Amino acid sequence: MVADTASPAAGTRTIGVAVPIPEPYGGWLQRTREALGDPLARAIPTHVTLLPPTDVPAGDLGCVEDHLRSVAAGQRGFRIRLRGTGTFRPVSPVVFVALADGAGGCERLQAAVMSGPLARALTFPYHPHVTIAHHLPDEVMDRAVKELADFRAEFEVRRFALYEHGADGVWRPRRDFVLGAGGGR
């Protein structure tokens, strides 16, 4: 999730929804992103985006949470296997860790999240991934591709999270939603 540089209008909140990458992988990838010099490394927890940054009226957050609770209740957990790297260059200056398994589960979850009150058009087709470098010089992006080419991780997705973009530019989890449980915590 990378927020636009424009600040949201008064009375709105910028939110995103994502599958957090669990430890030890999430922290390791975040430290790697930081070591590459990505200034967003500390501001964005390691994740797979389900809903990109979206401005919503502050008064609608309860409705959004109700929607996400309903989505979570109707979804089952699934396994993600991360393997190797990919890039969206030259279309978008992003290097990512690729999903070898679990893309279908992310696609189903993303479609459900982006329905109802969160329905919106996307700039690019949905492609689940874990960003590790964004808007960095080409030589750094090339280094990221090479250094993480052998990266491997596997984990069960049992929840997703609603994040809110703070005035300080940091994305923070607001609430977790447990898959199949019918509630958030």
Residue 153 forms part of a structural domain: yes
CA–CA distance, 99 with 102 (Å, rounded to integer):
6
For the segment 86-102, the average pLDDT, to the nearest whole number, is 93
| Inside any domain, residue 2 | no
Determine, yes or no, domain membership for 169: yes
List, for residues 123-162, the tens digit of each pLDDT value.
889 999 999 999 999 999 999 999 999 999 999 999 999 9
Domain for residue 67, yes or no?
yes
Question: What mean pLDDT is reported for the chain?
Answer: 92
- What CATH number is attached to the domain comprising 131? 3.90.1140.10
Q: What pLDDT sits at residue 9?
A: 60
Which whole number is the average pLDDT over 50-79? Answer: 96
Percent of the chain topping pLDDT 70: 92
Q: How many CB atoms lie within 10 A of CB 96?
A: 23
Band (12; pLDDT cuts 50, 70, 90) = very high
Residue 1: which pLDDT band, with cuts at 50, 70 and 90? low
Identify whether 68 is part of a domain.
yes
**Secondary structure (H, E, C), the chain:** CCCCCCCCCCCEEEEEEEEECCCCHHHHHHHHHHHCCCCCCCCCCCEEEEEEEEEEEHHHHHHHHHHHHHHHHCCCCEEEEEEEEEECCCCCCEEEEEEEECHHHHHHHHHHHCCHHHCCCCCCCCCCEEEEEECCCHHHHHHHHHHCCCCEEEEEECEEEEEEECCCCCEEEEEEEECCCCEEC
For residue range 111-133, what is the model confidence (pLDDT) as tens digits? 999 999 999 999 889 999 999 99
Residues 3, 116, 111, 70: is their CA dihedral positive or negative?
Answer: positive
* Distance from C-alpha of 159 to C-alpha of 72, rounded to nearest angstrom: 8
**41 φ/ψ angles, rounded to the nearest 5 degrees:** -55, -45
**What's the pLDDT band for 45 if we cut at 50, 70, 90?**
very high
Residue 34 maps to a domain: yes
pTM of the model: 0.90
| Of 34, 51, 56, residue with least CA distance to 43 | 34
Asked, for residue 82, whether it belongs to a domain, the answer is: yes
pLDDT recorded at residue 89: 84
At 91 the pLDDT is: 86
Residue 96 in domain: yes
Summarize the confidence of residues 46-64 as an average pLDDT.
96
The angle formed by the CA atoms of residues 96, 101 and 103, to the nearest 5 degrees, is 70
Domains identified in the chain, total number: 1
* Domain carrying residue 18: 14-179
